[in-house]
Amino acid sequence: MRLVKTIKEVREIVNGWKKEGLSVGLVPTMGYLHEGHESLIVKSVSQNDKTVVSVFVNPIQFGPNEDLASYPRDIEHDKELVKNAGADLIFNPEPEEMYGKHFTTLVNTTEVSENLCGAKRPVHFGGVCTVLTKLFNIVNPERAYFGQKDAQQLAVVKRFVKDLNFDIEIVGCPIIREADGLAKSSRNTYLNKEERKAALILSKSLKLGKEAILKGERNSSKVIEIITNNLNTEKLAKVDYVSIVDNENIQYVDKIEGEILCAIAVYIGKTRLIDNFIYKCED
């Protein structure tokens, strides 16, 4: 397993693989890898001859008051995890390598990125689509892997890849949770002991919402109310949003039908956590 810092090196290595007729999977990450990322890498290794993991804290997807400076980083730990998961290459560029001095291009979507996190973090998805466009052009993978925890990101990526005719299969992978239900996230590291306990309110509240749907509730606002009321029982939790949208276009729906995404964002202390579930109505 090699780690390279430049676009030129990645291209040379991948071109060599392609000449041998080998397929390439890409797992884009911002590092500080955990079992969620590991599951994406393992999936890519099982579906491709070679797997590239990018580790890059992408500055342009953070808003001015967000956690770019404090975002956790540990490349030695990441190298170990990537190696053990069976990947072949880490691409770990510096921001100057990716954006240079006069970078002025932005790739963005409309509609699919306008609600949920897109409404709360206005520059976020433009930054994500732009860095992924660059990574797709640099690595030239057959497949790229994304976690379902960032469900809107997955929908946005599927859309821009389709709209811009990238010949890349986007593979979504299930949320990986701690034993007690908390969705794995690099940002969980910000939580102190008391907050870590309080953070369980996210998965517990979503469970109540899902149970209501399973019992036949089809009114989105009723389900949203059940989830919000339960989140509000936790004194360290501050709800950012609780929403139900269709899982393709990420537009709000009044009625639960077809495939819906129930997504929440909640501050636990200063840490903003997200979680969700998808439900496919058969009726």
Provide the minimum distance between the beta carbon of 29 and ligand PAF in the complex, in angstroms, as a whole number.
5
- The binder of ligand PAF chosen from 58, 113, 152, 230 (CB under 6 A): 58
Would you state the structure tokens that stand for residue 88, as one six-digit string?
A: 């072949």
CA torsion 146-151-153-156 (nearest 10°) is 110
Distance CA 216, CA 238 (A): 28
Can residue 61 be called a binding residue for ligand PAF (CB under 6 A)? yes
Element containing residue 262 per DSSP (H, E):
strand 259-268
Can residue 150 be called a binding residue for ligand PAF (CB under 6 A)? yes
Provide the minimum distance between the beta carbon of 249 and ligand PAF in the complex, in angstroms, as a whole number.
20
Can residue 244 be called a binding residue for ligand PAF (CB under 6 A)? no
Can residue 29 be called a binding residue for ligand PAF (CB under 6 A)? yes
Q: Which of 29, 48 has the CB closer to ligand PAF?
A: 29
Using CB under 6 A, which of the segments 23-31, 195-203, 257-265, 269-277 binds ligand PAF?
Answer: 23-31
Q: Which of 156, 244 has the CB closer to ligand PAF?
A: 156
Would you state the structure tokens that stand for residue 10, as one six-digit string?
A: 């990645």
Can residue 263 be called a binding residue for ligand PAF (CB under 6 A)? no
- The binder of ligand PAF chosen from 28, 36, 93, 141 (CB under 6 A): 28
Assess contact for 233 and 137: CB atoms under 8 A.
Answer: no
Assess contact for 273 and 266: CB atoms under 8 A.
Answer: yes
Amino acid found at 105? T
Assess contact for 34 and 187: CB atoms under 8 A.
Answer: no
Q: For the stretch 15-27, what's the b/e string if a residue is b when 16 or more beta carbons lie within 10 angstroms of its beta carbon?
A: eebeeeeeebbbb
Beta bridge partners of 2: 89
**Is 77 noted as a catalytic residue in this protein?**
no
Provide the minimum distance between the beta carbon of 258 and ligand PAF in the complex, in angstroms, as a whole number.
26
Q: Which of 117, 213 has the CB closer to ligand PAF?
A: 117
Can residue 128 be called a binding residue for ligand PAF (CB under 6 A)? yes
Residues that bind ligand PAF (CB under 6 A): 28-30, 58, 61, 128, 131-132, 150, 153
